Amino acid sequence: MINKNDIFVIYGNKPKDMVKEVLNEAGIEEEINSTDLIGIKPNLVVPKKSSLGATTDPELVAGLIEYLHSKGYYNLAILESPGIGYRTQRVFEACGYLELAERYDIPLIDLQKDSYSIIKVEGLDIKVCNKALEIDYLINMPVLKGHCQTTITCALKNLKGCIPDSEKRKFHTRGLHKPIACLNKALKQDLVIVDGIMGDLDFEEGGNPVQMNRIIMGRDPVLIDSYTAEIMGHQIEDIPYIKIAAGLGIGSADLSTASIKELNEGRGVEVKKNSRKVARLVRNVKESSACSVCYGNLVHALKRLDEQGKLAALKDKLYIGQGYKGEEMEGIGIGVCTKGTEVNVPGCPVKAKDIIEILSRYLKS
């Protein structure tokens, strides 16, 4: 059975197959009762397809449903309330969830039309949709992506879709971070499955997607968010709600306690530059059969360096990909495949934080 400090990672671009494999490793059926109502909470903030980097891939949810059905669980529901200004039914349709619900005969719960209860946490009155509170086992399926106000959005923030629109507005007036943490005290999630296939670089509504080709799963939303923040090249201190949630006892922000279990290696070679912004960031990059996992981490690292005002000073070529194995080159190599370069950032997959650290030192020298 999956433990609180476990983080499972699987790489690839076939989400339905991947989620079944990672669920099989975790054995979550050992902790779900046969009569439990299982709630599935995707991230459907806007009426856009998942390829734009804003919403949860319906094929990922399809894989979860098929796995649960194979274990005898049929009491399932998908619940969501999108961003303010969008109608839930329109979002369900645009994101492919009407077809998904029909295919598997699963109800779609429109939380915009739901009543709510008020739960007091740390002096805040939090309105939480009653249908969400009625769930016995909540599976949170956020997208790994950036956010214009909170830097990232993943497991903890995705529960914001379980509150009424009036409360969403109030969250913004309260500064977002403390309310997000308190919401996770009021509403418990039992499992987190992160859609890291395609996520936007820095905006929750998509448009600058980065191909990451991974699924991340765990039970502790604080630990998951700490891990995903690191993937995107951020320090945990950059996202205040993570520390606040840890202080409330929701989970741990200490990655040294995490047991990270990578089920395979990121070996996909298809790399997509999905926007002009991404193309600008990688203008100095020379890629040859690069794994999309390493390439995605590189893009996030370059984004952080750009924000720090350092990227403009980088004139050298950055080499990445399996096509450079065994070659000796001038310039900077990203990942173990390019260890023949003058300067190399080791790793397989290479980490965004390591890229940032080594390139920052190099630019100072």
Parallel, antiparallel, or unpaired for β 151-153 and 145-147?
antiparallel
Q: What is the mean pLDDT of each run of 10 residues along the chain (365 residues)?
A: 94 95 93 95 95 95 98 97 94 98 98 98 96 98 87 93 95 90 97 94 75 94 96 90 97 96 73 69 87 84 90 90 89 92 90 91 83
- Strands, DSSP E only, in the chain? 6-11, 38-42, 76-80, 108-110, 116-121, 124-129, 137-141, 145-147, 151-153, 191-200, 209-218, 259-262, 285-287, 318-320, 329-334, 341-345
CA distance 252 to 234: 17
Residue-by-residue DSSP string for 1-47: ---TTEEEEEESS-HHHHHHHHHHHHTGGGGS-TTPPEEEEE---SS
The structural architecture, per CATH, of the domain 6-262 is 3-Layer(aba) Sandwich (3.40)
Secondary structure, 3-state, 219-256: CCHHHHHHHHHHHCCCCHHHCHHHHHHHHCCCCCCCHH
Residue pLDDT, tens place only, 300-345: 899 889 989 999 888 889 999 888 998 998 889 999 999 999 899 9
- What are the domain boundaries of the chain? 6-262, 276-364
Residue pLDDT, tens place only, 193-234: 999 999 887 667 777 788 889 999 999 999 999 999 998 889
Query: Can you give the pLDDT at residue 269?
Result: 46
Task: Give the tokens for residue 47.
Answer: 């009426």
Output b/e per residue, 165-201; b: 16+ Cβ within 10 A.
eebbebbeeeebbbbbbbbbbbbebbbbbbbbbbbbb
Query: Can you give the pLDDT at residue 89?
Result: 96
pTM: 0.88
